[in-house]
């Protein structure tokens, strides 16, 4: 009788090692993605005029949703400073 799929004899010895390697690879990919996410949000908060440390709050579940809404709808310090400078420029022209 011919089998369509032959399992090598060493499979029982290799399978646990292969599973551990796959788990470590997935953990590594998740870690790298998390670090990239942290760096991106720290830079966004910094560019908006807030402390870059607020980007670390994006790691906390449910707080990340609140912080995203805060970032979307808050009056950014950068915009606030720009408005003040425009008002001072208009006052100096008159």
Q: Give me the residue spans of the domains in the chain.
A: 11-93
Long-range contacts for 42-46 (Cβ within 8 Å, ≥24 apart)? 44/71, 45/71
Alpha helix ranges (H) inside 1-62: 11-48
Segment 43-50 mean pLDDT: 91
Segment 46-61 mean pLDDT: 91
Which tops the pLDDT comparison, 60 or 6?
Answer: 60
- pLDDT tens, 23-34? 999 999 999 999
pTM of full prediction above 0.75: no
| Residue 10 main-chain phi, psi, to 5 deg | -85, 0
Residue 1, pLDDT above cutoff 60: no
Highest average pLDDT, of 27-36, 55-64, 71-80, comes from 27-36
> How far apart, in whole angstroms, are the C-alpha atoms of residue 49 and residue 76?
6
């Amino acid at each position: 009788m011919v089998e369509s799929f032959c399992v090598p004899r060493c499979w029982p010895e290799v399978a646990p090692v292969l599973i551990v390697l796959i788990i470590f690879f997935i953990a590594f990919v998740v870690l790298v993605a998390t670090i990239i996410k942290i760096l991106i949000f720290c830079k966004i908060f910094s560019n908006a005029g807030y402390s870059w440390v607020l980007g670390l709050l994006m790691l906390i579940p449910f707080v990340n949703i609140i912080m995203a809404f805060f970032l979307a709808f808050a009056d950014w310090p950068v915009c606030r400073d720009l408005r003040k400078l425009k008002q001072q420029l208009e006052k100096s022209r008159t």
